[in-house]
């Protein structure tokens, strides 16, 4: 749930694709949690991806992710109904060759949530966007 950009989505589980990248949601209105990392709320960096857009002009769940700003709230509810809140810390854009290890790891002993989507120019031949946008968030104090 991200009220400030009107997101209320289901979460799929994904792993690694054959090309070594993180999987993506099968449905444009869903998000996808990287199941080889911590769950949201556990120590470390949980990663959730979502589509920017979809075929034939359909909007993706993270179409408005670029509008999140520091201080905005994100809430994740698990399959037991337990809610964990996170506060946006920062955003960053990555090039394809950039080291993205900071998206998937943290060693500060705290709980983080990082949201990932596409950005940049659409490459019609490769059928992929040129960059990735990542929103970094930290677990909210109770």
Instruction: Specify the 3-state DSSP secondary structure of 90.
Output: strand
* Residue 93, token pair as written in the block: 């854009």
Instruction: Specify the 3-state DSSP secondary structure of 3.
Output: helix
What is the model's pLDDT at position 142?
Answer: 67
**CA nearest to 134, candidates 106, 115, 112:** 115
Instruction: Answer whether 16's CB lies under 8 Å from 86's CB.
Output: no
33-92 pLDDT, tens digit each = 999 999 999 999 999 999 999 888 789 999 999 999 999 999 999 989 999 999 999 999
Task: With a cut of 80, say whether residue 18 has pLDDT above it.
Answer: yes
Task: With a cut of 70, say whether residue 115 has pLDDT above it.
Answer: yes
Instruction: Answer whether 70's CB lies under 8 Å from 62's CB.
Output: no
**For a pLDDT cut of 70, what percent of the chain falls above it?**
99
User: Whole-angstrom Cα distance, residue 134 to residue 37?
Assistant: 16
User: Whole-angstrom Cα distance, residue 9 to residue 64?
Assistant: 13
**Bridge partners, residue 111, by sequence:** 44
Task: With a cut of 80, say whether residue 126 has pLDDT above it.
Answer: no
């Amino acid at each position: 749930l991200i009220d400030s950009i009107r997101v209320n989505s289901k979460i799929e589980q994904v792993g690694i694709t054959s090309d070594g990248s993180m999987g993506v949601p099968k449905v444009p209105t869903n998000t996808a949690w990287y199941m080889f990392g911590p769950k949201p709320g556990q120590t470390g960096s949980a990663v959730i991806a979502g589509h920017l857009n979809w075929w034939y002009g359909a909007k993706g769940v993270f179409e408005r992710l670029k509008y999140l700003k520091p201080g905005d709230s994100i809430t994740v509810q698990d399959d037991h109904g337990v809610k964990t809140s996170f506060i946006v810390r920062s955003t960053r854009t990555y090039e394809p060759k950039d080291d993205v290890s900071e998206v998937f790891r943290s060693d500060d002993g705290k709980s983080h949530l990082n949201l990932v989507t596409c950005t940049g120019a659409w490459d019609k031949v490769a059928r992929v966007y040129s960059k990735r946008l990542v929103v970094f968030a930290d677990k909210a104090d109770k």
